[in-house]
Amino acid sequence: MDKQQAEILYDSGKEPTVEKLLELDDELERLKQKIASLNKDSTNSSKPPSTDGPNVKKQGKTPSTKNPGGQKGHTGKNRPLLSVDAMDHVYDLYPPSCEHCGRGLDPKIDQPADTVLRHRCLSFPK
């Protein structure tokens, strides 16, 4: 409604003006209810989270600033090295190259003692 239409309505008398005001008030209420229903999501109503749209920010824990995995200074947890007597079978397995320098390893010559591990493994055939 522009200014000229409002003046025509005002000049038409009390009854048409009151009717138009009540009509506009009803329309305003319907629009407020529609806006309120559009703003509902699982954080402010009983709607399940699966009905939320992609623009809804999830409430919960704030993301951590730490890097994933063990932190600096954290003591690692490793299996204890078992003795050869505790083994049912001993398999000599050597990596094809050094994990530090990448140089190829000859199992007969290079046996890096610090990388030898022993554990009871059920996946090896007996």
Sequence ranges of the domains in the chain:
3-48, 81-126
pLDDT in tens, 19-72: 999 999 999 999 999 998 888 888 788 888 888 878 777 777 788 888 888 888
Q: Which residues contact 86 (CB under 8 A, 6 or more apart)?
A: 120
Which pLDDT band, with edges at 50, 70 and 90, does 112 fall under?
Answer: low
Average pLDDT score over the chain: 78
User: Has residue 84 got a pLDDT over 70?
Assistant: yes
**pTM, whole model, 2 decimals?**
0.38
Residue 108 — pLDDT band, cuts 50, 70, 90?
Answer: low
Tokens for 58, please give them.
């999830």
Token output for 86: 């505790």
pLDDT, position 98: 67
As a whole number of angstroms, the distance between CA 90 and CA 92 comes to 7
